[in-house]
Amino acid sequence: MKSSWKNIAEPVVFFITLLILWEILVEVIQVPSFILPPPGDLWVAFIKKLPILGHHSVITFIEAFGGFALSLFLGVGFAIAVVYSRHLQNTIYPLIVILYAMPKSAFAPLMVIWIGYGLYSKIAIAFLVAFFPIVVNTVVGLKEVEPELLELARINRASEFDVFKKIRLPNSLPYLFAGIKVAIVLSVTGAIVAEFVAANEGLGYLVLQANYNLDTAFALVILLILAVLSLGLFWLAELVQRKLAPWSAAVREVEGSF
């Protein structure tokens, strides 16, 4: 009990100290506020822009989460197909690997040409960056099965579908969730980058606007909101993992460390 209280108190005290130091330093050194505003200015900017922040946050959330959901759906499906089809493994998989080697953000201008200026081109980029970690992890998870388990299945004349449903799929879940946690954070980055290229709404668009206006305080507020958004999605994934795959080592490790 005592140690868990300490585990909460320690970071809280640390961050409050950090904010106070920031405030004092900016004051003492007299840093111009367009370079580094004091934390108080951030709060003021946050309150002032609150009415518009909601809408833009929702837009970015939809882009990021939409792209992520799409990558989860298609990524898992594709991983299963690759594991079970030698043809796909020989043809589409190398193509995917080549795509993987390209910087996905460089697709953002192309996506505007291909899909247009609106929401969909952002979802496409978020999807693109989130797709690979999902596919790669799921493929590994489906394949890395103890050979003895497969022998056990063969000796009991298990159907291929049973092996998939009762061994491979559950076996892949911890790997999949590792991929999901990477993908979900990347998808937020993807959405922001896509907004940088061409957008008239969303948090990435707001950051650019803040930059043009030298409103550094507001830009930093948006960055903090993005951090909260990413962390929220990450913890959501963690929560779902605990529900769906409570046996996975990562979950037990985290539980043990608190």
Partner 1 sequence: MPPLIAVGDISRVFTGGARTVTALEHISCDIHTGNFVSIVGPSGCGKSTLLKIISGLLPASSGTVTVHGKHVDSPLENVGMVFQAPVLLKWRSVLGNILLPVEFARLDVPSYIDKARALIKLVGLEGFEEMYPHELSGGMQQRASLCRALVTDPQLLLMDEPFGALDAMTRDELDMELLRIWEERKKTVLFVTHSIQEAVFLSDIVLVMSARPGRLLEKIAVDLPRPRTMEMMSIAKFGEYTLKIRALLAAAGVCAIIGGNRNLLAESFPKTNP
The CA–CA distances, whole Å, from 165 to 47, 171, 254 equal 51, 10, 27
Build a one-symbol-per-residue string for 5-44: x at contacts with partner 1 by CB under 8 A, - elsewhere: ----------------------------------------
- 235: closest CA among 197, 184, 192, 194? 184
162 binds partner 1 (CB under 8 A): yes
Interface residue with partner 1 among 167, 183, 207, 222 (CB under 8 A) is 167
Name which of 8 and 249 has its Cβ closer to partner 1. Answer: 249
Is 74 within 8 Å of 247 (Cβ atoms)?
no
Considering the complex, state which of residue 90 and residue 159 has its C-beta at the smaller distance from partner 1: 159
| Count of residues engaged in binding partner 1, rule: CB under 8 A | 20
Secondary structure (H, E, C), 93-144? HHHHHHHHHCCHHHHHHHHHHHHCCCHHHHHHHHHHHHHHHHHHHHHHHHHC
> What is the closest distance, in whole angstroms, from the C-beta atom of residue 174 to partner 1 in the complex?
9
Q: How many residues does the chain have?
A: 258
245 contributes a contact to partner 1 by CB under 8 A: yes
Interface ranges with partner 1 (CB under 8 A): 146, 148-149, 151-158, 162, 166-167, 170, 173, 245, 247-248, 252
